[in-house]
């Protein structure tokens, strides 16, 4: 990871932490842990699988997306009391020696991020139902579960350039299962 990629991930991380904390200082530690385990792991999963396919991959922030996320977050918090999260802050850029676009490889690479979120989100929901958590532990597990499931669900929308578009082009059944699991487990929270 080079300095620019680290800087882009870090800025995106802080913006998402602010948004998922609902602009409340008391929620920042919980949101920070949740964003680390959702957004950062999501991007690293993409990067890892892209590397396994022989691609060079790096995260790049999208400044307009960051500005829109902050404006939408602030306006919605001011108008409704809740922060609406528009989280198109950047994306993994994939480069390779070949110009051939393999929908199967790109579909799997796209699925790696939301699948990581689903695994963490479902595990969190299972912990919430299985263990008598309270206090700090309850908040960390709840935030981590809800953020992971939201990131998976949002990224699985079948709209270019989101992951869902690439997964759906590769395999509609996998896409349907993944977005269905994300939606179902979000409803359980």
Q: Kindly state the greatest CA–CA separation across the chain.
A: 52
Q: Are 94 and 78 within 8 A, CB to CB?
A: no
43 is known as an active-site residue? yes
Secondary structure (3-state) at 29: helix
- CB neighbours (10 Å) of residue 33? 17
Give the ranges where the chain is alpha helix by DSSP (H).
3-20, 28-35, 41-52, 63-80, 103-130, 135-155, 163-170, 172-188
Q: How far is CA 146 from the centre of its chain?
A: 11
Residue tagged active-site, from 7, 24, 43, 82: 43
CA angle at residue 156 from 151 to 161, to 5 degrees?
105
- Per DSSP, the residues of 113-155 read HHHHHHHHHHHHHHHHHHS---HHHHHHHHHHHHHHHHHHHHH
CA distance 45 to 39: 10
Active-site residues: which are they? 43
């Amino acid at each position: 990871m080079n300095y620019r990629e680290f800087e882009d991930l870090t800025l995106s991380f802080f913006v998402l932490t602010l948004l998922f904390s609902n602009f409340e200082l008391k929620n920042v530690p919980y949101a920070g842990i949740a964003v680390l385990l959702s957004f950062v792991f999501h991007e690293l999963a993409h990067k890892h699988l892209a590397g396994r396919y022989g691609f060079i991959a790096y995260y790049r922030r999208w400044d307009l997306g960051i500005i829109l996320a902050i404006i939408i977050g602030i306006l919605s918090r001011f108008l409704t009391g809740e922060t609406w999260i528009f989280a198109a802050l950047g994306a993994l850029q994939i480069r390779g020696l070949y110009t051939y676009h393999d929908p199967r490889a790109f579909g799997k690479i796209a699925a790696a991020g939301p699948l990581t979120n689903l695994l963490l989100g479902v595990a969190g929901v299972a912990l919430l139902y299985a263990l008598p958590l309270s206090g700090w532990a309850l908040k960390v597990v709840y935030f981590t579960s809800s953020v992971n499931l939201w990131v998976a669900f949002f990224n699985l929308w079948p709209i270019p350039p989101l992951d869902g578009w690439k997964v759906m082009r590769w395999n509609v059944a996998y896409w349907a299962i993944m977005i269905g699991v994300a939606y179902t487990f979000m409803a359980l929270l």
